Amino acid sequence: MAQLNVSPACAPLASRFRVAALAMAAVLCGGVFIWEAPRADAESAVAVPAPAYDAAGAPGLQSVVLAGGCFWGVQGVFQHVRGVASAVSGYSGGAKATAHYETVSTGATGHAESVKVTYDPSQISFGRLLQIYFSVVQDPTELNRQGPDVGSQYRSAIFPMNANQALVAKRYIAQLGRSGAFPRPIVTKIEPFKGFYPAEGYHQNFLATHPTYPYIVINDLPKIANLKRLFPKVYQPAPVLVGEAG
């Protein structure tokens, strides 16, 4: 596969590229400009069972940090989930000093591109958020990559913010492993929460503001369609955008 290095990755450069046809797609993420046919799994989603064990609804808003590939799509999906008060793209897993896009893109910081999801447990449970995460957001069987994006910064990881979330996540991963819902072992890790650092402004609301960007069209808009199809009761057409929540 021919590759042409460009910079920066995952940056809003849609106007600089034109795609002759989706059969030969321009994919830009991870610091590499790659010409390749769209992956068959770009539009796939897996209908997974709901968690057998879920967190009890608690008063007030709760937050969790989820990583599952390029944060544009992760944020975009959760912005369309009813009960989510905000979904902010950022970095988690590494130090504050290295929480900058160009540095994280080296794959050497310990950070994962992540999204801090703040939600109302009286409207949507933590378990349901995880069900969406495993079904629509990402492929939990891909190690240190998602689709065209390769590197530990694109790993599948959950950063619980309390012990109950950690327990729900642990039990749900075990449940999904027993269910046979996926053809390969789940590699999603539950990692200790060390902090969350919001990404640069141009990354926020990227799916909502760049719906015709080739990477979004190929990799992320199908996730929104799958959310609407598989979770119609929690899908909301208008996204909750960063800067507008609350």
Residues 6+ apart with CB under 8 A from 103: 109
Q: Which of 70, 157, 217, 218 is the catalytic position? A: 70
Given CA atoms 195, 199, 205, 210 in this order, what sign does their dihedral have? Answer: negative
Q: Is residue 71 within 8 Å of 113, Cβ to Cβ?
A: yes
How far apart are the C-alpha atoms of 115 and 100, rounded to whole Å? 15
70 counts as catalytic: yes
- What is the distance, to the nearest Å, from the Cα of residue 106 to the centroid of all Cα atoms in its chain? 19
Instruction: Please state whether beta strands 84-92 and 196-198 pair in parallel, antiparallel, or not at all (unpaired).
Output: antiparallel
Q: Is residue 129 within 8 Å of 227, Cβ to Cβ?
A: no
How far apart are the C-alpha atoms of 190 and 155, rounded to whole Å? 11
Strand positions, DSSP E, 30-147:
32-36, 62-68, 84-92, 112-119, 145-146
Q: Which of 213, 94, 216, 82 is nearest to 153 (CA)?
A: 94
Q: Which of 203, 121, 103 is nearest to 161 (CA)?
A: 121
How far apart are the C-alpha atoms of 204 and 241, rounded to whole Å? 8
Written as one letter, the residue type at 197 is Y
| Catalytic residue positions, numbered | 70
